[in-house]
């Protein structure tokens, strides 16, 4: 073969290598999505991980679903009502609901599911604590007999935050709540394709043909008809943010759930990409104290530190200088919550006076005790928050020992109740979904139940008492009033320092439309 | 030879035992708690303790190690704490991408690096030699992820010739499979090409100064025959040694490359398992990597006899 002929043949042979991918005929029925993290755990009752919650909404359905006004609406239910002064609730399932294995959804499945969820979820625990008897009176009727009125029953069963009150077949729901289920049989709009799952890389869902959406209402958050427009949804786990950004720009994926803040300017300039903010509740951030050991066992010291908090500095470090992406007026409830108020927040506003904070700390009895500040460096948001937060404590004159490590180590060490000298800790930095802090029901960081409380173990009887009152409050106005008192009490007890709230945008191709507000959920969305 | 082979294979058993003990002990003393990661950010300490107990993570070291070893001896690598899937199944799911990437990178590196080294030695001190050495230095000194990003930017985002990320299994077609490997292989191969090219050059320079090369030239052999038939074969032993040792570089590099290109291979499986403290997976993958490395070294030792008949076992 002559050299020129060889080169021509070689070039021709290489052409298919560089040709674009295969035909995209079925592209409109396929959605490729990059989730915030790998879906390591499938059971939405077993973990509070948000990625598992999002997966849960695809596979499982819920009895109620909250709407954009955060009001619970009927979802799997045809009707729900309270009788006997709120001591008896009757819930009736819609007709024709089926699980992915083809069996009908029965009331006894839901009863078992509620019991399993109620063993793990804080809101569920409160509901079951108020419940005398939970039964299935027939195939479609669920009956709650209560010890005391629990007007928030629909809110509890329709909560959109973790743990998800997912309805599953009785045989699965009878699994010990502390043992994870892996058999993903739900009654949601998509079925989980276990045979195609590659942990750490790929999760596949296909449309559940027998799913019956509600025949009335408007899709809004988790409420209304769940219309599935895709035959197949693929979750591609892309751990590197630069690669995820490039994959979205090149059209290899359609939707990236959580683009990192540093890449937003780049994505804003990409012609085929849209940046959207679907979650109006944001991510409230905090510095959480260990109240078992000095110096943060002293409430006066915790209160003194309120004077050095700069939410603006924190949020600028986390999300940049575009103030549309954050709020620096956070109290103890996210601004989107009806429970939010300005009660007591003045102390967090205005110029910061570190000399005064130093004086206040000394007056409160701070004697230079070592403060072990844990910072998770593998999450950019938590790293930025921790670095600024630790600096804030240092500028206030505290003897800070920064422990920069990975999140895996932080979650292990924060569970230790030993003193900081013996491998314990003093403070760590984290953020929650705003939904988790929307009301006292699921707000673990505002609990004050001592050794049983969330990490940091605050003992705050007044906060606990107000929480109990909130559950029994008859209406929204009464709930709001109690939450004002909770916030004022939180400024006294200071279970954590509020560090501001950031809004996590999502990024998708321009041809992906009709995303619902709230969570990354996959009904109603379509692709042109 | 057979006796030697048998001896070497038997010798892998104590090596693997030491690796097993070392890995298990290291993970035991390393900070981290899979139960806390599983439970999620809002779980209470009580819930975490429940999960820890249900996973058997609260048992003493010797019990856990003994249990794990017993299963290993029965061919069971255990079950992932997070996915509840057998570790062997997870490894089997991930082995094709990693193996493909490593074999492709190895082939690509040898095809590029050996001629580079030969040419550099042949043209010692001239511009081709200097140019090749500049490439070699760049290959050594540029981090894998930088090469990866630059290649992805140029060839995927700008020129749109190749995919940014992902892996296409060979069952879905050879050409898509090849397309998904080109950028990762060049990324991973950078340092490997540099290493082999430099060693080839050094080994060739040594051989080219030998008397028999002068004799080969004196009897009128062409430059190609002298370089590739007479010189290269005699320079092969140090090259093969470095190729074998470099497999460790490939394994380490695969971890980064698979993350940059979102390839679902063993490297990413390892990183994910370490971040989550999924102990059975970490132990299984490290054991596998150690075993592969031991086998590669054995293969290198055997290859010596092919290239140098004076070597006998």
Top residue of A35, A182, A196, A415 to mutate, by most chain B CBs within 10 Å, is A415
The answer to whether residue A70 scores a pLDDT higher than 50 is yes
Residue A451 φ then ψ, to 5°? -65, -20
Residues A16-44: what's their mean pLDDT?
Answer: 75
| Contacts with B47 from chain A: Cβ below 8 Å | 120, 178
Cβ–Cβ < 8 Å for A162, A50? yes
Complete DSSP assignment for A11-39: HHHHHHHHS--S--TTGGGEEEEE-SS--
Q: How confident is the model at residue B307 (pLDDT cuts 50, 70, 90)?
A: confident
- pLDDT bracket for residue B277 (50, 70, 90): confident
pLDDT at A1: 46
Tell if the CB–CB gap between B160 and A20 is shorter than 8 Å: yes
Q: Flag if B152 and A176 touch (Cβ within 8 Å).
A: no
Cα–Cα distance, B153 to B148 (Å, whole number) = 8
Place of tokens 């509890």: A156
Residue A231: pLDDT above 90?
Answer: yes
- The residue of B44, B88, B280 whose CB has the most chain A CBs within 10 angstroms, and thus the best one to mutate to test that interface, is B44
- The share of chain A scoring above pLDDT 90, in percent, equals 88
pLDDT of residue B8: 82
- Residue B116 CB-half CA count within 13 A: 23
Q: What is the pLDDT of residues A347-380, one digit of tens each?
A: 999 899 999 999 999 999 999 999 999 999 999 9
How far does A471 lie from chain B, in Å, by closest CA?
A: 20
Interface contact flag, A243 B182, Cβ < 8 Å: no
Q: What is the count of residue pairs from A and B with beta carbons less than 8 Å apart?
A: 153
Mean pLDDT for B278-295 is 90
CATH label, A64-173, candidates 3.40.50.300, 3.90.76.10, 3.90.25.10, 3.30.230.10: 3.90.76.10
Instruction: Specify the CATH architecture of the domain A3-37+189-257+508-527.
Output: 3-Layer(aba) Sandwich (3.40)
Q: Across the interface, do A250 and B90 touch by the CB < 8 Å criterion? A: no
- Checking if the pLDDT of A21 tops 50, the result is no
pLDDT tens digits, A452-473? 899 999 999 999 999 999 998 9
Sort out which chain A residues have CB atoms less than 8 A from B93's CB and list them. 198-199
pLDDT of B300 higher than 70: yes
Query: What's the pLDDT band for A23 if we cut at 50, 70, 90?
Result: very low
Q: What is the mean pLDDT of residues B87-97?
A: 94
User: Which candidate from B31, B82, B268 shows the least CB-CB separation from A41?
Assistant: B82
Interface contact A201-B271, CB threshold 8 A: no
Residue A8 has a CB neighbour count (10 Å cut-off) of 12
**What are the pLDDT digits (tens) for A237-267?**
998 999 999 999 999 999 999 999 999 999 9
What are the tens digits of pLDDT across the range A474-495? 899 999 999 999 999 999 999 9
Of B37, B149, B268, the CB nearest to A200: B268
* Predicted pLDDT of residue B29: 84
Out of A242, A411, A430, closest to residue B37 by CB:
A411
Give the DSSP letter of residue B210.
S
Residues of chain B positioned with their CB less than 8 A from the CB of A20: 160
- Nearest Cα residue to A40 out of A32, A50, A31: A50
Q: Could you identify the residue written with the tokens 């193996």?
A: B99
Q: Cβ distance B258 to B101 under 8 Å?
A: yes
Is residue B52 predicted with pLDDT exceeding 80? yes
Say what the pLDDT of residue B42 is. Answer: 72
pLDDT value of position A4: 55
pLDDT tens digits for A305-328? 999 999 999 999 999 999 999 999
pLDDT band at A14 (very low <50, low <70, confident <90, very high): very low
Neighbouring CB atoms inside 10 A of B107's CB total: 12
User: What does DSSP assign to residue A445?
Assistant: G
The CB-side HSE value for A252 (13 A sphere, CA atoms) comes to: 27
Quick check: B38 and A17 CB within 8 A? no
Between B55 and B126, name the one with better pLDDT: B126
Across the range B250-268, mean pLDDT stands at 91
In chain B, the residue whose alpha carbon lies closest to the alpha carbon of A451 is B45
Residue B219 CB: number of other CB atoms within 10 A? 7
Mutation to test the A interface, candidates B155, B262, B271, most A Cβ within 10 Å = B262
**Taking the CA atoms of chain A, what radius of gyration do you get in angstroms?**
25
Residue A86 has pLDDT above 50, yes or no: yes
* Residues 366-405 (A) with a CB less than 8 A from some CB of B: 378, 405
Kindly give, in sequence order, each residue whose CB lies less than 8 Å from that of residue A242, ignoring residues fewer than 6 positions away.
A263, B149, B260
A41 contact residues in B (CB cutoff 8 A): 38, 82-83
* A454 in contact with B, Cβ within 8 Å: yes
CA-CA distance, A58 to A206, in Å (whole number)? Answer: 10
Q: What is the mean pLDDT of residues B106-126?
A: 95
Residues from chain B that touch A162, judged by Cβ atoms under 8 A, are 40, 42
Give the range among A3-7, A25-29, A70-74 with minimum mean pLDDT.
A3-7
Complex-level ipTM beyond the 0.90 threshold = no
Do A153 and A144 form a contact (C-beta atoms < 8 A)? Answer: yes
Q: Could you tell me the pLDDT band of residue A22, with boundaries at 50, 70 and 90?
A: very low
Domain spans of chain A? Answer: 3-37+189-257+508-527, 64-173, 283-502
Q: What is the CA radius of gyration of chain B?
A: 24
pLDDT band at residue A2 under the 50/70/90 scheme: low
Query: Is the per-residue pLDDT at A522 higher than 90?
Result: yes
The residues near B9 (Cβ < 8 Å, ≥ 6 apart) are: B298
Give tens-digit pLDDT for A100-116. 999 999 999 999 999 99
Chain A residues touching B83 at Cβ < 8 A: 40-41, 182, 199
Right CATH for A283-502 from 3.40.30.10, 3.40.50.170, 1.10.540.10, 3.10.105.10: 3.10.105.10
Indicate whether this model's pTM tops 0.80: yes
CB A197 within 8 A of CB A182: no
When pLDDT is averaged across residues A432-441 and rounded to a whole number, the result is: 93
For residue A160, the tally of other CB atoms under 10 A from its CB is: 25
Long-range CB pairs of B266-271, under 8 A, 24+ apart, other chains included: B266/B91, B266/B94, B266/B95, B266/B97, B266/B98, B267/B98, B268/A200, B268/A201, B268/A239, B268/B94, B269/A200, B269/B90, B269/B91, B269/B94, B271/A239
Residue A324 has what pLDDT? Answer: 94
B-chain residues within 8 Å CB-CB of A178? 47, 50-51, 54
The DSSP annotation for A279-319 comes to -TT-EEEEEEE-TTSTTTT-HHHHHHHGGG--HHHHHHHHH
Kindly report, residue by residue over B211-226, the tens digit of the pLDDT. Answer: 999 999 999 999 888 9
């Amino acid at each position: 073969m002559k050299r020129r002929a060889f080169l021509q043949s070689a070039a021709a042979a290489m052409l298919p290598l560089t040709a674009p991918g295969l035909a995209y005929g079925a592209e409109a029925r396929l959605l490729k999505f990059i989730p915030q993290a790998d879906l390591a755990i499938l059971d939405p009752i077993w973990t509070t991980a948000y990625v598992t919650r999002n997966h849960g909404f695809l596979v499982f359905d819920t009895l109620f679903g909250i709407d954009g006004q955060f009001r619970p609406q009927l979802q799997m239910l045809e009707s729900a009502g309270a009788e006997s002064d709120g001591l008896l609730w009757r819930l009736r399932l819609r007709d024709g609901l089926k699980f992915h294995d083809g069996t009908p959804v029965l009331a006894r499945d839901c009863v078992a599911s509620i019991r399993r969820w109620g063993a793990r979820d804080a809101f569920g625990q409160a509901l079951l604590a108020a419940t005398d008897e939970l039964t299935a009176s027939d195939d479609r009727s669920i009956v709650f007999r209560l010890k005391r009125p629990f007007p928030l029953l629909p809110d509890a069963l329709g909560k959109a935050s973790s743990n998800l009150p997912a309805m599953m077949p009785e045989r699965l729901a009878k699994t010990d709540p502390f043992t994870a289920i892996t058999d993903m049989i739900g009654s949601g709009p998509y079925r989980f394709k276990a045979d195609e799952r590659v942990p750490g890389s790929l999760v596949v869902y296909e449309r559940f043909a027998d799913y019956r959406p509600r025949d009335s209402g408007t899709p809004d958050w988790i409420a209304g008809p769940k219309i599935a427009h895709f035959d197949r949804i693929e979750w591609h786990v892309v751990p590197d943010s630069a690669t995820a950004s490039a994959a979205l720009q090149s059209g290899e994926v359609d939707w990236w759930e959580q683009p990192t803040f540093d890449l937003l300017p780049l994505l804003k300039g990409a012609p085929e990409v849209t940046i959207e903010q679907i979650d109006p509740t944001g991510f409230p951030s905090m510095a959480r104290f260990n109240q078992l050991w000095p110096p943060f066992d002293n409430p006066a010291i915790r209160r003194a530190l309120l004077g050095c908090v700069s939410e603006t500095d924190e949020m600028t470090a986390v999300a940049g200088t575009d103030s549309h992406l954050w709020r620096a007026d956070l109290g103890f409830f996210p601004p989107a919550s009806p429970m939010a108020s300005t009660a007591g927040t003045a102390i967090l506003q205005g110029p910061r006076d570190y000399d005064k904070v130093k004086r206040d700390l000394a007056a409160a009895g701070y004697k230079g005790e070592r403060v072990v500040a844990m910072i998770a460096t593998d999450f950019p948001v938590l790293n930025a928050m921790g670095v600024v937060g630790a600096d804030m404590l240092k500028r206030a004159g505290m003897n800070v020992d920064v422990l920069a490590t990975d999140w895996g180590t932080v979650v292990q060490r924060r569970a230790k109740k030993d003193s900081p000298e013996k491998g314990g800790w003093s403070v760590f930095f984290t953020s929650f979904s705003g939904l988790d802090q929307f009301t006292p029901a699921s707000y673990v960081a505002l609990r004050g139940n001592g050794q049983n409380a969330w990490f940091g173990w605050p003992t705050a009887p007044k906060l606990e008492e107000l929480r109990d009152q909130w559950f029994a409050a008859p209406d929204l106005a009464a709930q709001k009033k109690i939450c004002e008192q909770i916030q004022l009490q939180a400024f006294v007890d200071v279970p954590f320092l509020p560090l501001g709230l950031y809004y996590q945008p999502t990024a998708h191709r321009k041809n992906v439309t009709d995303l619902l507000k709230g969570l990354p959920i996959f009904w109603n969305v379509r692709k042109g | 030879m057979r006796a030697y082979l048998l001896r070497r294979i038997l010798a892998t058993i104590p090596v693997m035992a030491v690796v097993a003990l070392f890995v298990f002990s290291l993970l035991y003393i390393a900070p981290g708690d899979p139960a806390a990661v599983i439970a999620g950010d809002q779980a209470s300490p009580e819930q975490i303790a429940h999960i820890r107990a249900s996973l058997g993570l609260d048992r003493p070291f010797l019990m856990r190690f003994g249990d794990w070893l017993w299963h290993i001896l029965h061919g069971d690598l255990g079950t992932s704490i997070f996915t509840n899937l057998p570790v062997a199944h997870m490894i089997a799911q991930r082995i094709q991408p990693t193996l493909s990437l490593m074999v492709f990178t190895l082939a690509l590196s040898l095809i590029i690096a050996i001629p580079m080294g030969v040419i550099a030695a042949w043209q010692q001190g001239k511009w081709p030699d200097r140019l090749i050495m500049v490439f070699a230095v760049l290959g050594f000194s540029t981090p894998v992820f930088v090469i990866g990003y630059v290649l992805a930017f140029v060839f995927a985002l700008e020129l749109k010739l190749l995919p940014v990320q992902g892996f296409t299994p060979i069952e879905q077609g050879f050409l898509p499979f090849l397309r998904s490997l080109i950028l990762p292989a060049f990324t991973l191969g950078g340092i490997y090409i540099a290493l082999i090219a430099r060693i080839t050059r050094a080994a060739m320079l040594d051989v080219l100064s030998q008397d028999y090369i002068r004799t080969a030239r004196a009897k009128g052999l062409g430059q190609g025959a002298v370089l590739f038939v007479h010189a290269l074969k005699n320079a092969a032993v140090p090259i093969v040694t470095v190729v074998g040792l470099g497999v460790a570089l490939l394994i380490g590099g695969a971890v980064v490359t698979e993350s940059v290109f979102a390839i679902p291979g063993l490297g990413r499986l390892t990183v994910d398992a370490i971040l989550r403290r999924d102990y059975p997976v970490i132990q299984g993958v490290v054991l596998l990597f150690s075993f592969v490395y031991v086998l590669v070294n054995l293969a290198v030792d055997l290859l010596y006899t092919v290239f140098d008949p004076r070597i006998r076992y």
